[in-house]
Structure 1
Amino acid sequence: MATSKRFPDARAALADLVTDGQTLAVGGFGLCGIPEALIAALRDSGAKDLTVISNNAGVDGFGLGQLLETRQIRKMISSYVGENKEFERQYLGGELELEFNPQGTLAERLRAGGAGIPAFFTRTGYGTVVAEGKETRQFEDGHWYVLETALKADLALVKAWKADEAGNLVFRKTARNFNPACAMAGKVCVAEVEEVVATGQLDPDHVHLPGIYVDRLVLNPTPEKRIEQRTVRQETR
């Protein structure tokens, strides 16, 4: 008999998954669509020497910025430092390893990792520092291309709007940019969602990520959703 993918909270979902030295793919675009509860549980786990693949590292004290403050991240693979002063300080001070990627290249490296494609050629970055140390090749179209390798993670942490009990996910707006690719690139994926419905209640045409990629679910409703759920429970008593 199949077991449920739902866990009571983020800490329980990560308890037997997180270890020192892992590579994690963490979804989110800016501060949109980040798995807040899972990031907090990761911080509380005390795991260190982590390599984190994510578009950015949140801001100071929020999102992945919390893990920078606790020095749990050894290396970031990302496309944007942004307003995170601690990220900038650690990198310029030689305390944090950083692998910069053009944003589209980062997304495609994750997608390739999930699709089983070991590497691909792209024109992006040719003739710049991005191409240093990488294979380049000229194709029949006359342009030069850079070989980029796929990204895979030991663990993926993602945030979705809605899920069913089978783990099928629906994302909202820009949360869809990196979360699906991160989920597919992880050997194990834990999804934090705002709502869980019964299997069969999601229109298949509305599913953005099939449940085959999702191993565990954690319910973390927004404050508005909590109020709505309490109201529904009271009205049905």
Structure 2
Amino acid sequence: MPSSSSNSNPATTPATTDPHTSNARNQKTQQPPEPIGPLRANSAAWIRGSVFTALFAALFIAFSSITLPIGISPVPITLQTLAIMLAGGFLGAFYGFWSIAIVILLTATGLPLLHGNGGLSLLLGPTGGFLWMFPFCALFIGWVTDLLFRGARSASVLRFVLLTVAIYIGDLLSYIGGVPWLAFKIDASLAKAISVGMTPYVGFDAIKAVIAAMLIVALRPVLTPLRKRSR
């Protein structure tokens, strides 16, 4: 009898892939896209902020050179507080603070940036308490201004009034450090320091606050939104 032959199918070889090609494909699909757009946008915002910080620092230096001495106080009337108001109002809390703080720190190194004078002797003199408070005045004004203009597209009388009051309060913060330091340096009572270091100036400060509020309300919506959120 003939032997029965088995009809076996030929062996099927499974398809193989190159491991190097597979790994390269997986790595290629797993790599996240590079955030070029956001990085460029953040860099551009930082550059704009730095440029405007330098510009308002220069404005603060220029306005500091405009002084009007008065005989009853060693503290002259200057326009530097107007520059502080504008720095906070236009740049916001972060950049507004640093636009003034940079000038104060450079002055401490000896650079004659404030009405032609500089050095620690100026910052530790009778007006030193005011100078050290100036960056914090800009910080407060910028913080409140950001809140008032957040989401606002048009000017309003109420916003102008609130802004003027906020700017004036921010300016008055300088007296918190300035008046006690003045009393210490001239060896006078706090009441005497208030009479010679604060009373003659609060009226001029109110006028400057109104001027600053008018400029901020008119020009801030036009400027490029370069500010960071208040911190």
Greater helix share, 1 or 2? 2
When the two structures are superposed, what TM-score results if normalisation uses the length of structure 2? 0.25
Q: TM-score, length-normalised on structure 1?
A: 0.24
- Choose 1 or 2 for highest CA Rg: 2
- Structure with the higher fraction of residues in strand conformation: 1
